[in-house]
Amino acid sequence: MDRPEHSVLFVCLGNICRSPTAEGVFRHLAREAGLEERIRIDSAGTGGYHIGAPPDARAMAAAQARGYDLAAIRARKIAPEDFEQFNLILAMDEDNLVHLRGIAPETSRARLGLLLDYAPGRQEREVPDPYYGGRNGFEQVLDLVNEACAGLLEELRRNLP
């Protein structure tokens, strides 16, 4: 990609449920808005249990039903370089945000926050971990992620020339 003007990294624990969903939804919205080439978009996990794995089959199926394709995503663990390469790093929940704050290099100028900061109409602050729950958890992830990604895109758009 040719020097994108924005860069966003979505972060959860395993990088197989919530953050790949956010990556796929946000990429879809950015593409629809004609902005995919101008925003670097990726996801990572704070844990390394699933490195190299595709997204959870339940997350892929729920996303597919809403028109989002997560199949090409592979799990990876966040690395120190991410704090230099992304200007916005958004965690799915407080635990992951605390983890990010703990490992951020002192030289990092990346802005850290929660994805749901961009869904001000919602009372929830965290995207709940759906891994050990039922199908409904994945639908809830999509509802929350969708709303926040739309808000995030609006915000970034305002800052693009």
Tell me which residues are annotated as active site.
12, 18, 129
CA atoms within 13 A on the CB side of 72: 6
For residue 110, the minimal CB distance to ligand 4NP (Å) is 20
Q: Is 131 in the site for ligand 4NP (CB under 6 A)?
A: yes
Q: Is residue 14 near ligand 4NP by the rule CB under 6 A?
A: yes
60 near 54, Cβ under 8 Å? Answer: yes
DSSP conformational letter for 107 = T
Helix axis angle for 57-65 and 18-32, nearest 10°, is 30
Q: Report the residue number, 7 or 46, with the smaller CB distance to ligand 4NP.
A: 46
93 binding ligand 4NP? (CB under 6 A): no
Question: Of 13-21, 66-74, 99-107, 111-119, which segment contacts ligand 4NP by CB under 6 A?
Answer: 13-21
Task: Give the interface segment with ligand 4NP, choosing from 14-22, 64-72, 80-88, 99-107 (CB under 6 A).
Answer: 14-22
66-105 core/surface letters (b: 16 or more CB in 10 A; e: else)? eebebeebebbebeeebbeebbbbbbbbeebbebbeeebe
Is there a contact between 77 and 45 (Cβ–Cβ < 8 Å)? yes
In this chain, which of 49, 79, 84, 125 binds ligand 4NP, going by CB under 6 A? 49
**Site of interaction with ligand 4NP (CB under 6 A):** 12-18, 49, 129, 131
